[in-house]
Chains A and B, each alone.
Chain A
Amino acid sequence: MNKFSIVKHAKIFFSITAVVLIVGIVSMFTRGFNLGIDFTGGSILDIKFDQPVSVAQVRTVLSDHQLGSSVIQLGSSDQQVETSQSVLIRTGIISDSQRVEVMNDLTSRLGKNEVLRVENVGATVGGDLVKSAIGAVVLSWVLMIIYITIRFELRFALAAIVALIIDVLVTLTWFSVLHLEIDSSFVAALLTVVGYSVNGTIVVFDRIRENLHTHRRSESLGDLVDTSIWQTMTRSVYTTLTTLFAVVAIFLFGGETIHNFSFAMLVGFGSGFYTSTFLAGSMWLFFRKKLGR
Chain B
Amino acid sequence: MEGKNRVKLLVSVLAIVIAFAVFIKPLASTVKQGLDLQGGTHVVLQAQETPESKVDDDAINRSIQIISRRVNELGLTEPVIQRQGKDKIIVELPGVKDPEQAIAMLGKTAMLEFKDMEGNTVLTGKDLKDSKASADQSGQPVVTLQFSDEGAKKFADLTARNVGRQIAILLDGKVLTAPRVSEPITGGNAQITGSKDAKEAEHLAILLRSGSLPVKLEVVENRTVGPTLGQDAKDASMKAFAIGLAGVFLFMLLYYRLAGLVADIVLLLYTLLLLAVMKGLNATLTLPGIAGIILSIGMAVDANVLIFERFKEEIANGKTLRAAVNSGFSRAFTTILDSNVTTLMAAAVLFYLGTGPIKGFAVTLALGVLISMFTAVTVTKFILGAFIGSNFTKNPAWFGAKAFQPKAKDGKGEAAR
Q: Which residues from chain A sit less than 8 Å from chain B, CB to CB?
A: 46, 48, 95-97, 99-100, 103, 114-122, 124-125, 132, 135-136, 139-140, 143-144, 147-148, 151, 184-185, 187-188, 191-192, 194-196, 198-200, 202-203, 206, 231-232, 234-235, 238-239, 241-247, 249-250, 252-255, 257-258, 261-262, 265
Contact = CB atoms under 8 A, between A and B. Distances in A.
Nearest to B295: A246
A96 B102 CA distance: 13
A96 B295 contact: no
Given A202-B335, A254-B236, A117 B224 contact: yes
Most chain A CB within 10 A, of B44, B218, B341, is at B341
A96 B338 contact: no
Nearest to B349: A140
Contacts of A262: 291
16 contacts: A48-B228, A95-B219, A119-B222, A122-B46, A192-B346, A195-B347, A203-B339, A239-B298, A242-B298, A242-B305, A245-B244, A245-B298, A247-B295, A249-B243, A257-B287, A258-B287
A136 B291 CA distance: 20
B222 A243 contact: no
Interface in B327-368: 334-335, 338-347, 349-350, 353-355, 357-358, 361-362, 365
Given A114-B228, A144-B342, A246-B247, A188 B288 contact: yes
A246 B338 contact: no
B232 A255 contact: yes
A48 B227 CA distance: 12
A233 B3 CA distance: 38
Nearest to A146: B345
B288 A258 contact: yes
Contacts of B344: 195
B220 A122 contact: yes
Given A198-B339, A203-B339, A100 B100 contact: yes
Given A140-B345, A196-B299, A253-B239, A116 B228 contact: yes
B239 A199 contact: no
Q: How large is the interface on B (under 10, 10 to 19, 20 to 34, 35 or more residues)?
A: 35 or more
A192 B306 contact: no
Nearest to B309: A235
B167 interface: no
A118 B350 contact: no
A254 B252 CA distance: 23
Most chain B CB within 10 A, of A48, A95, A100, is at A100
Nearest to B222: A120
B117 interface: no
B127 interface: no
B233 interface: yes
Contact of B346 (A97, A132, A140, A253): A140
A185 B357 contact: yes
B298 A199 contact: no
A88 B226 CA distance: 14
Contact of A242 (B225, B240, B251, B313): B251
Most chain A CB within 10 A, of B297, B353, B365, is at B353
B244 A250 contact: yes
Contacts of B255: 238
Contacts of A196: 299, 343
B236 to A, nearest CB: 3
A243 B103 CA distance: 41
A255 B237 contact: yes
Interface in B207-222: 218-222
Given A199-B302, A199-B339, A239-B301, A261 B288 contact: yes
B113 interface: no
A245 B252 CA distance: 12
Given A115-B224, A246-B248, A254-B237, A124 B46 contact: yes
Q: Which 3 A-B pairs have the closest CB atoms?
A: A195-B346, A255-B236, A246-B298
Given A117-B223, A195-B343, 8 more contacts: A116-B229, A117-B225, A120-B221, A121-B220, A124-B220, A135-B353, A254-B287, A262-B291
Contacts of A118: 99, 222-224
B248 A242 contact: yes
B44 A125 contact: yes
A235 B301 CA distance: 10
Given A96-B219, A253-B239, A195 B228 contact: no
A135 B352 CA distance: 11
Contacts of B224: 115, 117-119
B416 interface: no
Interface in B249-300: 251-252, 255, 287-288, 290-292, 294-295, 297-299
